């Protein structure tokens, strides 16, 4: 079988040609297997035969190949917006399960980490620190509540270990545990379209995307060149807010993309909600409204 040829496949599901080792490494990453996520979304939206192609058997293979039933071919690259410190925290909490059993605590706790430094120490001492917190007067009032910011010693101890925010609540299932999670962004519920487009323009004009588009230019025979950007919880809030299921907002302003790119996809992970697609010929689309397959 020649590379890229049409074979029997299930519409809506990509064909994964990566090695088992590649898939396992990808799944263990801070956002999960972003290439597989991207391929699945492209498959469902286009109805085409999408291949996860880069198995390292050849130099500079694209991440995705999109074979349309009419003979057209698209090539795609997947990239992320992922600060290194947040990525390390996300990977460690995700791969360790992110849960600390704490049967001595009265509440269920969520600790949001800004970085991974000190996470081993945090896992060891968090039950003791939060036991002190429960014995203090700081937990009076409505819960859940954000508490980081005052000068109380237990809060300072958490801050020194990389905790950006804390939430607690009375457990409903009897599980007294501490959940470790990467810190996210927040802000206004109103989406600032100008700020959204500015972020897109700045990100797509950066060196990371330039390397991706340079790779796509190696395939001039392709009818389409796709860039799929998987965002993290540390991405600019205006962009994250636009990808929430709480909104059906679609941008009306076109970004300034390089001529190489025909399609730009934006999706957040690991809590996948919504996907926006910009097509050079057609503008912005809410992908959820245009699935062609399951």
Q: Select from 136, 155, 175 the last residue of a domain.
A: 175
Are 131 and 210 within one domain?
A: no
Residue-level pLDDT at 77: 96
Residue 47 lies in a domain: yes
State the number of CA atoms in the 13 A half-sphere of 231 facing the CB: 28
Number of domains in the chain: 2
**Given the DSSP bridges, would you call strands 99-101 and 73-81 parallel, antiparallel or unpaired?**
unpaired
Are 28 and 149 within one domain?
A: no
Residue-level pLDDT at 261: 97
Helix (H) or strand (E) holding 41: helix 34-46
Residue 92 lies in a domain: no
Are 125 and 212 within one domain?
A: no
Closest CA to 184 of 129, 243, 96: 243
List per-residue pLDDT tens for the chain, 294 residues long: 344 444 457 888 999 999 899 988 888 776 778 899 999 999 999 999 999 988 777 778 899 999 999 999 999 999 998 766 555 555 555 555 577 888 888 888 888 877 667 778 888 899 999 988 888 766 654 333 444 444 457 888 888 888 888 888 876 565 678 888 777 666 666 789 999 999 999 999 999 999 999 999 999 999 999 999 999 877 888 898 888 877 889 999 999 999 999 999 999 887 677 899 999 999 999 998 777 666
Q: Select from 152, 175, 198 the last residue of a domain.
A: 175
Residue-level pLDDT at 222: 95
Instruction: Tell me which residue range forms the domain holding 154.
Output: 103-175
Are 77 and 109 within one domain?
A: no
Are 137 and 20 within one domain?
A: no
Rounded to 10°, the helix 34-46/20-27 angle is 100
CA atoms of 121 and 22, how far apart (whole Å) = 31
Are 28 and 170 within one domain?
A: no
CA atoms of 280 and 145, how far apart (whole Å) = 44
- The residues near 240 (Cβ < 8 Å, ≥ 6 apart) are 184, 185, 231, 233, 268
Are 129 and 191 within one domain?
A: no
Report if pTM > 0.85: no
Q: How far is CA 104 from the centre of its chain?
A: 34
CA atoms of 123 and 46, how far apart (whole Å) = 44
Closest CA to 186 of 230, 234, 146: 234
Q: Select from 134, 155, 175 the last residue of a domain.
A: 175
């Amino acid at each position: 079988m020649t590379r890229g040829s049409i074979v029997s496949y299930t519409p809506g599901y990509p064909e994964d040609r990566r090695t088992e080792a590649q898939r396992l490494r990808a799944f263990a990453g801070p956002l999960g297997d972003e290439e597989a996520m991207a391929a699945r979304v492209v498959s469902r939206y286009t109805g085409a035969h999408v291949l996860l192609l880069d198995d390292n058997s050849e130099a500079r293979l694209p991440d995705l190949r999109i074979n349309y039933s009419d003979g057209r071919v698209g090539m795609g690259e997947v990239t992320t917006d992922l600060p290194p410190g947040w990525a390390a925290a996300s990977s460690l909490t995700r791969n360790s399960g992110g849960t600390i059993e704490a049967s001595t605590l009265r509440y269920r706790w969520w600790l949001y980490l800004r970085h991974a430094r000190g996470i081993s120490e945090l896992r060891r001492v968090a039950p003791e620190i939060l036991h002190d917190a429960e014995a203090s007067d700081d937990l009076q009032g409505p819960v859940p509540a954000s508490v980081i910011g005052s000068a109380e010693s237990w809060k300072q101890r958490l801050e020194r270990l990389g905790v950006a925010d804390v939430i607690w609540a009375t457990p409903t299932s009897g599980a007294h545990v501490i959940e470790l999670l990467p810190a996210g962004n927040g802000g206004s519920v109103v989406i600032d379209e100008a700020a959204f487009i500015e972020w897109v323009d700045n990100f797509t004009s950066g060196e990371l995307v330039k390397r991706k588009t340079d790779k796509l230019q190696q395939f001039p025979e392709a009818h389409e060149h796709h860039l799929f950007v998987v965002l993290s919880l540390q991405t600019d809030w205006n962009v994250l807010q636009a990808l929430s299921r709480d909104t059906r907002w679609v941008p009306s302003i076109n970004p300034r993309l390089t001529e190489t790119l025909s399609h730009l996809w934006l999706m957040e992970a690991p809590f996948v909600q919504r996907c926006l697609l910009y097509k050079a010929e057609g503008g912005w689309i809410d992908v959820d409204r245009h699935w062609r397959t399951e």
